[in-house]
Amino acid sequence: MRRCGELSRRELLAAMAGGAVGLGFDGRVFAAEADDGGRAELTFGAIADAQYANADTRGTRHYRLSVDKLAEAVERLNARRLDFAIHLGDFIDRDFASFAKITPVYARLRAPRYHVLGNHDWSVAAADKAKVLGALGLDKLGSKRRTGHYDFSVGRWRLIVLNGTDVSTYANPAGSEKHGEAQTALGKLKARKAPNAHDWNGGLGREQFAWLSKTLEAAAKARQRVILFCHMPVCPANAHNLYNDAAVLKLIDAQEHVVAYLNGHNHAGNYARRKAVHFLTLKGMVERDTNAFAVVEARSDHLKVTGFGRQTSRALASRNAK
């Protein structure tokens, strides 16, 4: 019996022979470079988990290769007309000195560049943690309190960047309020044997959650459509999810103008559709000796995800698609 969205062997072979590179959520195969007419309302590059370190390969993670992989991605993305590019967290794997090696490569992008905070971005010496936001350029975005979450607009689109490391044991010093909140949240998750009960995850704090609610409300009043970005996923249920994934999903469920939620963290990649919202986990660039990144085009009736390397290409229908 064929699963939902699964192709028969004959269909898959025919697709491969025709040069197709990916599957849509409905099983539709299409060529990544196909032009479906007209310029998209929004086009951006998306990269997850470059996770560079001057370290030997461990398992499937090729830390040093991320410099060359990111350089290749920048070259390919610079050939496109992008509104912006975003890295979805874990720019480095460890050591503050790693930022100096990989940041100049990302800086070669001609489009505006953004970052999402990931758990490994905090894998630096305690004395260097105060410099992480500055290393990623996040000290110039969001509130004056340097929170790591922020939003910006492109046309009728509102892009909301969340800080999933807000409530965590690694981004906050022991004894701080948020460190305590993270310990409490993690303890509750472990007590009920939740799959995401890991200290390498994190959650949104109360202030950030309130900000998210207000920002979504403001986007609705402005008649803007929304794409959310975070390092940690919230859907489907997974070992990598935010601590308060259920609360975030409940909020998103009530927002008819939210189109998608993009994240990294789970290097294998993932996809789910919930109440017409697409939840897409990009594959980690650091994995294997082949690359992974994407270009996303937002149109009135769908999102077109063009994957490069190991990243799957998808056509994701929007709420108002006929």
In Å, what is the CA distance from 259 to each residue of 28, 256, 279, 301? 20, 8, 9, 10
What pLDDT score was predicted for residue 101? 98
What pLDDT score was predicted for residue 39? 76
* Nearest CA-CA partner of 93 in 284, 291, 238, 294: 284
What pLDDT score was predicted for residue 144? 65
The tens place of each residue's pLDDT in the chain, 322 residues long, gives 233 233 333 333 333 333 333 333 332 333 333 444 557 999 999 999 999 999 999 999 999 999 999 999 999 999 999 999 999 999 999 999 999 999 999 999 999 999 999 999 999 999 999 999 999 999 988 766 678 999 999 999 999 999 999 999 999 999 999 999 999 999 999 999 999 999 999 999 999 999 999 999 999 999 999 999 999 999 999 999 999 999 999 999 999 999 999 999 999 999 999 999 999 999 999 999 999 999 999 998 899 999 999 999 999 987 655 4
pTM exceeding 0.85: yes
What pLDDT score was predicted for residue 254? 95
Q: Which domains does the chain have, with CATH numbers?
A: 40-317 (3.60.21.10)
What pLDDT score was predicted for residue 124? 98
The H or E element spanning position 208 is helix 206-221
